[in-house]
Amino acid sequence: MAYSEKVIDHYSNPKNVGTLDKSKKNVGTGLVGAPECGDVMRLQIEVDDATGVITDAKFKTFGCGSAIASSSLATEWLKGKTVDQAVQIDNMDLVEELNLPPVKIHCSVLAEDAIKSAINDYRKKNGLEELVFEEKVH
């Protein structure tokens, strides 16, 4: 199976690889997937408390090229968005942007899960109620 150019580009030059300080109150961390499934994503956001804008986003991913590309693209999209806007990111937007084939859609679902999980971690740390999301099929 050939990868799309965008997947190859994110894989070769991933954006925002790294780690944010999870002890900070304005950093939300999402860790999703499982080693047994061959995919683990950790996505982190740093939020400006005053404006609710995501000022930084970082990821680390254990997985195939599409999983790496999905998380790399997700971090790019997150930066500059408010938390409320970030919640709206849909996995199908990632699929479309990266031209993921059907067998790789689960990578995009995982990235969406990682975003939501990071947002909820941030909300929890800041005394906000966790959002409930409808579960997507992987």
Partner 1 sequence: MLKLPIYLDNNATTPMDPRVLEAMIPYFTEHFGNAASRNHPFGWEAEEAVDYAREQVAKLVGADPKEIIFTSGATEGDNLGIKGVYEMYASKGNHIITCTTEHKAVLDTCKHIERTGGEVTYLEVKADGLIDLTELEAAIKPTTILVAIMYANNEIGVIQPIREISAIAKKHGVLFFTDAVQAVGKIPVDVNKDGIDIMAFTAHKMYGPKGIGALYVRRKNPRVKVTAQMDGGGHERGMRSGTLNVPGIVGFGKACELARLEMADDAARLSKLRDKLQNALMQIEETYVNGNQEHRLPHVANISFKYVEGEGLLMGFNKNIALSSGSACTSASLEPSYVLKALGLGDDLAHSSLRFGLGRFTTEEQIDYTIKSVSETVLKLREMSPLWEMFKEGVDIDKIEWAHH
Residues designated catalytic: 37, 107
* 104 exposure class (CB count in 10 Å sphere: 0-12, 13-18, 19+): buried
What is the closest distance, in whole angstroms, from the C-beta atom of residue 51 to partner 1 in the complex?
Answer: 28
**CB of 32 or CB of 89, closer to partner 1:** 32
**CB of 8 or CB of 131, closer to partner 1:** 8
Structural element, H or E, at residue 9: helix 5-12
Helix (H, G, I), strand (E, B) or coil at 110: helix
**CB of 33 or CB of 89, closer to partner 1:** 33
CA–CA distance, 13 with 73 (Å, rounded to integer): 11
Residues that bind partner 1 (CB under 8 A): 1, 3, 8, 11, 14, 17, 19, 31-42, 60-65, 67-68, 103-104, 106, 138
